[in-house]
C-alpha cells in the first residue's frame, strides 16, 4: 500500500481552490462591467459579496428627461406628418386647379367651334337662294259663283271694297246672271253707249275703272264685275251700298 503524501495533497487542494476563485472572480468582473454599461453614472447600485448588481435606482430627473425626449420625438413626428399632409393637400389643390382650367379651356374651345359652325351654316344658308314654293293656282268654277269669288280675290288685292252678297244682289237685278246681257232701250242705249255685261256697265265707265290684270273685255264676267265694283266704290263707297240702277 502506497504512503499518503500530505504535502502533495495540500498542494492539489490549493490549486483547485485557486481555480474556483479565479472563475468566480472573472464572472464577477463581467457582471460588474455589464451593470456599469446599463446603469447611468448617476444611478445608485448595490452589490453582493460576489460583486454582482443587486438593484438599480433611477432618479426622478432621469425619468423626466426620458419622458421629455419621447414627447419631443412624438411632437416632431406629428409636425412632420402635418407638413407632409399639407404638402399633399396643396399638390392635390394645384392638380385640381389645373384640371379645372383645362376643362374650362376645352369647353370654351368646343363652344367657340359650335358658334363658328353655326355662323358658317347661316352664312351658307344666306348665300344660297331659297327656292320659293310655287303657289298652286286657284281654280274657280266657270259659273256665277266662281266669277264672283274670283272677282272678290282680285278686289281684295287691289283694295276694292265689296262682299259676295253685295255683288250677287246687283248682278241678279241688272242682268239675271247673264254675262252677255245688253240694254238697248234706256237712255244710255239712245245715246249710243248701251249698258253691257253682268253689272250693266257702259263702255266709258268700263274703260275708266278697268282693273289691270283682268281682260280688257266688257263682256268678260270677272273683268265686268271688278270694274263695276271699282266704280261703285269710287262713287258710293262700296258696291254693297248700291240697291238700284247706278
Under a CB-based contact definition with an 8 Å cutoff, are residues 138 and 148 in contact?
no
Structure confidence at residue 98 (pLDDT): 87
Under a CB-based contact definition with an 8 Å cutoff, are residues 181 and 198 in contact?
yes
Q: What is the DSSP letter of 182?
A: B
Q: Which three cell numbers stand for residue 161?
A: 271694297
Residue 56: strand pairing partners: 45
Under a CB-based contact definition with an 8 Å cutoff, are residues 234 and 212 in contact?
no
DSSP character string of 196-207: BTTTTB-HHHHH
Instruction: Tell me what the pLDDT averaged over the chain comes to.
Output: 77
Sites in the chain below the pLDDT cut of 70: 1-72, 74-75, 125-135
pTM over 0.85: no
Sequence-separated (6 or more) residues with CB below 8 Å from residue 244: 173
Report the distance separating Cα 9 and Cα 4, nearest Å.
Answer: 8
Structure confidence at residue 9 (pLDDT): 41
Residue-wise pLDDT for 211-230, tens only, equals: 999 999 999 999 999 999 99
Residue-wise pLDDT for 129-155, tens only, equals: 555 566 678 999 999 999 999 999 999
Amino acid at each position: 500500500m502506497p504512503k499518503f503524501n500530505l504535502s502533495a495533497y495540500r498542494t492539489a487542494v490549493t490549486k483547485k481552490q485557486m481555480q474556483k476563485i479565479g472563475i468566480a472572480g472573472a464572472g464577477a468582473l463581467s457582471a460588474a462591467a455589464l451593470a456599469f454599461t446599463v446603469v447611468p453614472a448617476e444611478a445608485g447600485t448595490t452589490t453582493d459579496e460576489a460583486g454582482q448588481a443587486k438593484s438599480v435606482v433611477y432618479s426622478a430627473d432621469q425619468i423626466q428627461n426620458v419622458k421629455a425626449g419621447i414627447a419631443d420625438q412624438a411632437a416632431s413626428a406629428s409636425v412632420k406628418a402635418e407638413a407632409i399632409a399639407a404638402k399633399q393637400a396643396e399638390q392635390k389643390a394645384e392638380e385640381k386647379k389645373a384640371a379645372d382650367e383645362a376643362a374650362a379651356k376645352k369647353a370654351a374651345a368646343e363652344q367657340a367651334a359650335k358658334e363658328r359652325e353655326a355662323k358658317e351654316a347661316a352664312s351658307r344658308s344666306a348665300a344660297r337662294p331659297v327656292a320659293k314654293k310655287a303657289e298652286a293656282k286657284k281654280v274657280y268654277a266657270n259659273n256665277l259663283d266662281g266669277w264672283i269669288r274670283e272677282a272678290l280675290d282680285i278686289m281684295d288685292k287691289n283694295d276694292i271694297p265689296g262682299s259676295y252678297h253685295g255683288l250677287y244682289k246687283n248682278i241678279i237685278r241688272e242682268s239675271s246672271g247673264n254675262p252677255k246681257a245688253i240694254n238697248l232701250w234706256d237712255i244710255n242705249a239712245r245715246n249710243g253707249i248701251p249698258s253691257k255685261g253682268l253689272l250693266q256697265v257702259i263702255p266709258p265707265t268700263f274703260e275708266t275703272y278697268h282693273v289691270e290684270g283682268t281682260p280688257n273685255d266688257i263682256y268678260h264676267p270677272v273683268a265686268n264685275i271688278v270694274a263695276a265694283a271699282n266704280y261703285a266704290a269710287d262713287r258710293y263707297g262700296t258696291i254693297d251700298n248700291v240697291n238700284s240702277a247706278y
